[in-house]
Structure 1
C-alpha cells in the first residue's frame, strides 16, 4: 500500500504545482507578448475606452447604427443565446416586436428587406459585427437623423467593410462600434 500512496501523493503535488502555478504563469507571460497585453482589444476615443473590438454593444439612439440584438444584454461575462427555437411562441413574439420597432425607426424599409440578424440574437449574444446588408439598410435613417447625405454615409460603410477571408470564406462584415465612432467623426 505504501508503494502506491507515496508515488500518488508526489504525482498529485507535481500536478498541483503545474496546474496552479506554472500553467497560469505561462499563459500570463504569453498574454504580455500580445499587443493588448491580454486585456482585450480596447477601442479608445480621445484617450477614453469606449468599448472592445470583439464584444458588441447596444446603440439605441436613432443617430447610430444598431447592433444585432443580444439575448444576454451584451454582458461579456455570460455570453449565450436565448435557447428558444424558431417555433417557440415567445421567441416569435419577441422577433415580431423587434421587427415592429425596427420598422418604426426605419420607415423606408419594408419587412422583407430587414436582414434577419437585426431582429434575431446570435448564439453568443455578443456579436460586434453586422453584415454589410444590415448596415446599408440603416443608411436612410442615419442620413435623415444626422442631416448628412446618404452617399457619404454609404461610402463610410463601404470604407470599413471587412471583406471575407481570401474573398471566399464568410460574409462581408461591419464592426458597429467602429462604424459609429467614425460616424461621430464625420463633419
Structure 2
C-alpha cells in the first residue's frame, strides 16, 4: 500500500509540473510569438485601432460588406448564440427579416442564392468571417454604392479570401473588417 501512495504522489507532482507550469508557459509563449503578441491582431486605419481581426463588427451601410448576424450585437463581453432552434417561431421570423433585408438592399438577388451564414448568427455571436458566397452576393451593391467597377470589387474580394487550411480543412472565408478596410483604401 505504501508503494501505491508514493507512486500516486510522484504522478501527481509530475502532472502538476506538466499541466500547471509547463503547459501554461507554452501557451503563453505561443501567444507572445503570434500576431498581436497574444492580444489579438489589431486592425488600424489612419493610425487608429478600428477593431480586431477575430471579432466581428456590425456594418449596415450599403457601401460596406455586411458580416454575419450576431445574437449579442457583437458584444465580446457577452459572447453567446441565441439558443433558438429552427422550429422556434421567433427565430424563423428573425431569419425571414434578415432575408428580406438582404433582398431589399441587393436587387436582383434571389432568395435561393443567399447562403445560410448571411441570415443565421454564429454560436459565439462574434464571427468576423463570412463565406465566399456571402461576399459574392454583396459585390453588386457595394460596387454601385461606391461607384466602382464590379470587377475591381471582385478582385478585392478574391485578394481577401482565406482559403482552407492546407487546401483541405474548412471552407473558404472572407474577413469582413479586413475587406472593408481594403475597400476604404481604394
Q: Is the aligned partner of 1:113 residue 2:127?
A: no
CA distance in 1, matches of 2:169, 2:28: 32
Map 1:1-187 to 2 at 5 A: 26=25, 30=29, 31-186=31-186
CA contact 1:143–1:153 (8 Å) conserved in 2:
yes
Q: How many residues align?
A: 169
Query: Is the partner of 1:37 in helix, strand or coil?
Result: helix
Q: CA deviation at 1:143?
A: 1.0
Q: Report the equivalent of 2:9.
A: none
Q: CA deviation at 1:29?
A: 6.0
CA distance in 2, matches of 1:28, 1:163: 26
- Return 107-116 or 80-89, whichever deviates more: 107-116
Query: Is the partner of 1:130 in helix, strand or coil?
Result: strand
Deviation string, structure 1 residues 65-112 (Cα, Å, up to 9, x no partner):
000000011011121110000010000001001111111111110111
Name the TM-score, length of structure 2 as normaliser: 0.83
Name segments (4+ residues, structure 1) moved above 3 Å.
25-35
Name the TM-score, length of structure 1 as normaliser: 0.82
- Return 109-118 or 31-40, whichever deviates more: 31-40
Q: CA deviation at 1:45?
A: 1.5
Runs of 5+ unmatched residues, structure 1: 1-14
